[in-house]
A = this chain, B = another copy of it.
Amino acid sequence: MDLATILGVICAFSLVFIAIFAGGGLQLFINLPALMIVVGGTLGATMISYPLRDVFGVFNVVKKAVFTKSISINELIKRFLSFAKKSRKEGILALETDLKEVKDEFIVKGIQLSIDGLEPEEIRDVLETEVDFIRSRHQLGAEIFTTMGTFSPALGMIGTLIGLVQMLQRLDDPSRIGPAMAVALLTTFYGSIIANIVCLPIAGKLRIRSKKEVLTKEMTIQGIISISNGDNPRILEQRLQAFISPNEREVSGKYG
């Protein structure tokens, strides 16, 4: 997913820059006050709409969504298979040593609860609550970016209106009309770029990312419950594979 984002950013921005350079150079398109009004105004309107902590927290969510490598689902299934086999042979307490190598805190917590002797339904309750908070944090992130993607073109237009009103008041020097209008249009340009190449695509990615992460967490919960119930590894594998599309499945064949 990482790669797609990077490729997408490069692809979209490089083409915009090529068009800009081909037509006379970057300096025509750099205007700090114009950029400030769009970026600052959008941030301002977003800060009125959402609590401060959520607005700044959103950058963390993005960082995680773009840079965290998503766990391979087939890896996950393999891990749970090996847990299940060990747990059936040596008892669930034997998993405690394996937990030290597991980086995913969600799995560690779930297995630990199982080792601590909680009933499967209690474990599910605790973990589902955590998944609900993950889901609502992602949704809030996607929502904030959608909001920013709605405000930024509007603020671009406000900036252009300011420029137009100023230009129209002094039409006496015709040679300045063109450049003044060009500058006025820059805020609309910035607003469009921010909305369509930054905010709205990121909102889309967060939505997709959230779906996938929640699915992985649901699989993990299913796996932990299965181990906690002492299910046969074969049944565990079937349960987990029901979460993934048929052509993504790997047949393991090796359960005891």
Q: Which residues of A contact B (CB under 8 A)?
A: 1, 3-5, 7-16, 18-20, 22-24, 28-29, 33-34, 36-37, 40-41, 43-52, 54-55, 129-130, 133, 137, 147, 151, 154-155, 157-159, 161-166, 168-172, 175, 177-179, 181-182, 185-186, 188-189, 192-193, 195-197, 200-202, 204-205, 208, 242, 245-246
Which of B8, B151, B196 interacts with A155 by CB under 8 Å?
B196
- How distant is A243 from chain B, measured CB to nearest CB, in Å? 10
Given A130-B246, A137-B245, 9 more A-B residue pairs with CB atoms under 8 Å apart are A13-B44, A18-B33, A19-B34, A23-B163, A48-B202, A49-B204, A50-B208, A133-B245, A169-B178
The interface residues of chain B lying within 8 Å CB-to-CB of A166 are 23-24, 28, 182
User: Nearest Cβ in chain B — how far from A227, in angstroms?
Assistant: 22
**Complexed CA–CA distance, A48 and B16 (Å):** 16
Cβ of A211 to closest chain B Cβ, rounded Å: 10
A12 proximity list for chain B (CB < 8 A)? 40-41, 43-45, 48
Specify which of B8, B33, B164 is in contact with A44 (CB 8 Å cutoff). Answer: B8
Closest to A3 in B: B52
* Contact of A29 with B201 in the complex, beta carbons under 8 Å: no
Q: How far is the CA of A109 from the CA of B48 in the complex (A)?
A: 32
Shortest C-beta distance, A166 to chain B (Å), equals 4
Question: Please, could you name 20 A-B residue pairs with CB atoms under 8 Å apart, sorted by A?
Answer: A7-B47, A9-B48, A11-B44, A12-B43, A15-B37, A19-B37, A22-B33, A23-B163, A24-B166, A45-B197, A48-B205, A50-B208, A147-B204, A164-B182, A165-B185, A165-B186, A168-B178, A168-B185, A169-B182, A171-B175
Cβ of A182 and Cβ of B165 under 8 Å apart? yes
Closest B residue to A241 using CB positions: B129
Q: Which residue of B lies closest to A31 (CB)?
A: B165
Report B-chain residues with C-beta under 8 Å of the C-beta of A181. 168
Q: Which residue of B lies closest to A208 (CB)?
A: B50
Q: What 3 pairs across the A-B complex have the smallest Cβ distances?
A: A12-B44, A49-B204, A8-B47
Which residues from B are CB-within-8-Å of A202? 48
Q: What is the chain B residue whose CB lies nearest that of A181?
A: B168
Contacting pair A47 B5 (CB below 8 A): yes
Known: A15-B40, A16-B41. A201 touches B49 (CB 8 A): yes
A45, B179: Cβ atoms under 8 Å? no
- Nearest-Cβ distance from residue A104 to partner chain B, whole angstroms: 15
Among A24, A133, A196: residue with most chain B CB under 10 A: A196
